[in-house]
């Protein structure tokens, strides 16, 4: 069904009026489409990256190449999502100032493009389909205590993976 603003009332989860290009720390979560396990698997409380998971890591690190005024905090690839902290350290010229949305959009685009290239080279007769869930989650980190707590959550994510999964829940099929 085509989007119709009269019947589809999508509310933004972004903080109204907030300048997402301003200096600050942001906790980001990006999920794969239908929560497919594209990035690897958890074994013995450790994340074992697939080749697509390795691409996700490489492209995260490349954010600093594209935007040198960013710092990258804690980061973790999980089987079906990524968590990371992006810190905008300086306000650059207004025409060059990326928003968190544009940074996340560029990241999602690069990971999907590079992953598709990898996938097609190895599985020419299969389709990977849509890669990412449409949106992303962000949280503005407002102080050092919150930064430390979120960083700890990110680092502990693989060890807590099985605790959060329901015993009756079956993961989506691996496309590889």
Show me where the domains of the chain are located.
Answer: 24-162
Does residue 13 carry a pLDDT above 90? no
The structure's pTM equals: 0.82
**Three-state SS sequence of the chain:** CCCCCCCCCCCCCCCCCCCCCCCEEEEEEEEEHHHCCCCEEEECCEEEECHHHHHHHHHHHHHHHHCCCEEEEEEEECCCEEEEEEEECCCCCCCCCCCHHHHHHHHHHHHHHHHHHHHHHHCCCCCCCCCECCCCEEEEECCHHHHHHHHHHHHHHHHHHHHHCCCCCCCCCCCC
Compute the distance between CA of residue 77 and CA of residue 19 in angstroms, rounded to an integer: 27
pLDDT digits (tens, 9 = 90+) for 90-120: 766 656 778 999 999 999 999 999 999 999 8
Compute the distance between CA of residue 98 and CA of residue 147 in angstroms, rounded to an integer: 22
* Cα-based torsion angle of the residue sequence 106, 12, 29, 144 in order, rounded to the nearest 10 degrees: 110
pLDDT digits (tens, 9 = 90+) for 48-77: 999 999 999 999 999 999 998 899 999 999
Indicate the CATH number for domain 24-162: 3.30.70.1290
pLDDT > 90 in the chain, percent: 62
The tokens describing 170, both together, are: 């079956």
Compute the distance between CA of residue 15 and CA of residue 53 in angstroms, rounded to an integer: 30
Q: pLDDT at position 167, please?
A: 42
């Amino acid at each position: 069904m085509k989007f119709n603003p009269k019947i589809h009332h999508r509310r933004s989860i972004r903080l109204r009026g907030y300048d997402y290009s301003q200096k600050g720390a942001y906790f980001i979560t990006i999920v794969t489409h239908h929560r497919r396990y594209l990035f690897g698997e958890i074994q013995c409380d450790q994340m074992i990256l697939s080749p697509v998971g390795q691409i996700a890591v490489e492209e995260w690190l490349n954010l600093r190449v594209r935007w040198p005024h960013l710092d990258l905090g804690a980061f973790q690839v999980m089987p079906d999502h990524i968590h990371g902290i992006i810190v905008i350290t300086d306000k650059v010229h207004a025409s060059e100032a990326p928003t968190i949305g544009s940074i996340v959009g560029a990241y999602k685009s690069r990971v999907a493009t590079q992953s598709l290239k990898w996938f097609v080279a190895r599985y020419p007769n299969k389709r990977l389909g849509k890669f990412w869930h449409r949106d992303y989650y962000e949280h503005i980190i407002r102080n050092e205590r919150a930064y430390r707590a979120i960083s700890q959550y990110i680092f502990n994510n693989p060890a807590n993976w099985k605790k959060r999964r329901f015993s009756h829940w079956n993961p989506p099929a691996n496309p590889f």
